[in-house]
Structure 1
Amino acid sequence: MKLSIKAPAKINLSLDVLHKRDDGFHEVEMVMTTIDLADRIELTTLDEDIIKIESSGGYVPSDFRNLAYQAADLLKKECNRNEGVHITIDKHIPVSAGLAGGSSDAAATLKGLNELWDLGLSIDELAVLGAKIGSDVSFCVYGGTALATGRGEIIKSIPSPPPCWVVLAKPAIGVSTADVYRNLKLAEVEHPDIQSMVAAIERKDFNQICYLLGNVLESVTLEDYPDVSHIKNQMERLGAEGVLMSGSGPTVFGLTVHETRAQRIYNGLRGFCNEVYMVRMLGETE
């Protein structure tokens, strides 16, 4: 049997870090939403009790380091399944970009295998399992738009933002999320107004959403990686109504309601980096 499922990327409209927890994780508050840039996951059942990973993208591990592999392995153990699965990942989301590509692949694998193996798990149960794999996986299980708290695994769905264009640009560098959090000086950062962002989304107030965009991790990444700061400046210069780095970076996104402006931003950034995308805000669960 075979099943194909979409795994959309996410962006952070707000990302705040409150403090470091006793378990070593950071307490966060984030507003996340999905965008129409997605990997495509194909799951094929195998009689042999193995997990095989095949990916179209470079730098994607095909063993237990892959989050989709971990998702399948976790379901097999939790639900006592002794058959295998061949997971094919058609990559479109850039790797290590702050867009939750790996987490979304894992979430899609959980949802797809739940259907393929007829496990009967609820979406909430899948999200709890997802939290064991990574902090963003729970959000990716639900999709849509949400306020995420805890270490990112406590999800409260909120209405979708108003439709708009999203231009993303990822420079050809890698950013260590662990290093960014390690170098974050919480006493010195300006914390985004999360509740006002949620209220602006509920009102569908695009201008206010753009005004309230905020990510405390920019305080580290923009200083340590000048390429990211340069792309952000270029997006603002080219006329994006709102510009922010997603996650710990290095991807920067710009929002605009005007297709011609989005195209101009897209064209203008092509000279600065190879990985540039122009997509729509998705924002709703599929």
Structure 2
Amino acid sequence: MTAAGLHLAAPAKINLYLHIGPLRADRLHDLASLFVFAHDGDVIRVEAAKDLSLKVTGPYAPLLKDLPPEKNLVYRAAELLAREADVRAGAAITLEKHLPVAAGVGGGSADAAAALRALVKLWNVNISETALSRLAFRLGADVPACLARAPVNVSGAGERIEKGPVLPPLWIALVNPRVEMPTGPIFRAFDAANPVPHPPKLAAFRAVSYAQVKEAMGATRNDLEAFAIEKAPVIKDVLDDLAAAPGALAARMSGSGATCFALFASWAAASRATRAACARGHWAMASALHVR
């Protein structure tokens, strides 16, 4: 915290696997997933102010220019925290947008989680982790897990969060073919093809070594991947390219897409894969993963 306020990273969220189950009475899906987080992503900056305001900057800000602040998940997070904690102060919030929009890497959820963390500090809110997680769930199913920024096993519709496995040092290449993939249509396609899906189960994702990472990835899946590929076949091309990248341990789509990823044992290999993806005209980012 400085006189100029504070800033927090809103790192990209990646589903190492995503198993989808039935639709619940609250219209959310049961799921089982392992969330991990990159070191890089968006950035949230907050400063003390009389009123609440939101400014969006960064390379992907133009995609949000027509979205009223009150519709942005970051602004909604600030309003909700202020209301629930009876905060009368304002805040000048800046969202520095580096991640693609509607991309399956939790950009909006990670932004909201970082905003909550930053505003709890700025406003000196006395709130437990449990209460903050419950409040985060009211904003979106992925927001509670994004509070962690460390590997977490996620179940229920996102409200049940447990500490995830300790992973070996990993680097990730994230690649998006510049395709927006709204979550709703992909889940509806899954529902149409799976009217009575089996209840999802958390995987025994024990991956201390790189060989175990490959084995654990091979034993899991992303249940939404096929439906995203059907909507945007270029995703299959991206996955094939990533799987064939030198040093790739595994490749998969994250969330409901369209961002895909490959895991690597070195920064050099992840960087090489992202450079190749950029040469094909895709958005790409290499980053280390938070592995514990």
Q: TM-score, normalised by structure 2?
A: 0.89
Task: Tell me if the contact between 1:213 and 1:244 (Cα under 8 Å) persists in the aligned partners.
Answer: no
Match of 1:44 in 2: 47
Q: Distance in 1 between matches of 2:48 and 2:221?
A: 43
5+ residue gaps in structure 2? none
Pick which of 268-277 and 187-196 moved more.
187-196
Amino acid at match of 2:21: L
Once the two structures are aligned, what percentage of the paired residues are identical?
28
Q: Distance in 2 between matches of 1:216 and 1:191?
A: 12
Task: Tell me if the contact between 1:171 and 1:273 (Cα under 8 Å) persists in the aligned partners.
Answer: yes
Shift of 1:188: 9.8
Amino acid at match of 1:53: K
Does 1:139 find its partner at 2:139? no
Amino acid at match of 2:245: L
Match of 1:207 in 2: 214
Pick which of 142-151 and 51-60 moved more.
51-60
Q: Distance in 2 between matches of 1:190 and 1:174?
A: 29
Pick which of 179-188 and 66-75 moved more.
179-188
Shift of 1:145: 0.7
Shift of 1:144: 0.4
Amino acid at match of 1:58: P
Number of residue pairs the alignment of both structures matches: 281
Match of 2:62 in 1: 58
Does 1:277 find its partner at 2:285? yes
5+ residue gaps in structure 1? none
Shift of 1:211: 2.2
Match of 2:36 in 1: 33
Match of 2:254 in 1: 246
Q: TM-score, normalised by structure 1?
A: 0.91
Superposition CA RMSD, Å: 2.2
Shift of 1:190: 10
Pick which of 150-159 and 260-269 moved more.
260-269
Deviations 1:27-66 (A, max 9, x none): 1111111112221211011123x33333322222351221
Q: Distance in 2 between matches of 1:190 and 1:232?
A: 26
Matches within 5 A, 1:78-157: 78-157=84-163
Deviations 1:110-154 (A, max 9, x none): 111111111111222211110000111000112201111111121
Q: Distance in 1 between matches of 2:281 and 2:249?
A: 21
Shift of 1:230: 0.9
Question: Of residues 1, 5, 8 in structure 1, which corresponds to 2:8?
Answer: 5
Deviations 1:200-254 (A, max 9, x none): 2367732323323410001201122111111011112224220000000000001
Shift of 1:5: 1.3
Shift of 1:256: 1.4
Match of 1:256 in 2: 264
Task: Tell me if the contact between 1:96 and 1:175 (Cα under 8 Å) persists in the aligned partners.
Answer: yes
SS of the residue 2:13 aligns to: strand
Task: Tell me if the contact between 1:190 and 1:216 (Cα under 8 Å) persists in the aligned partners.
Answer: no
Task: Tell me if the contact between 2:277 and 2:283 (Cα under 8 Å) persists in the aligned partners.
Answer: no
Match of 1:18 in 2: 21
Shift of 1:194: 3.4
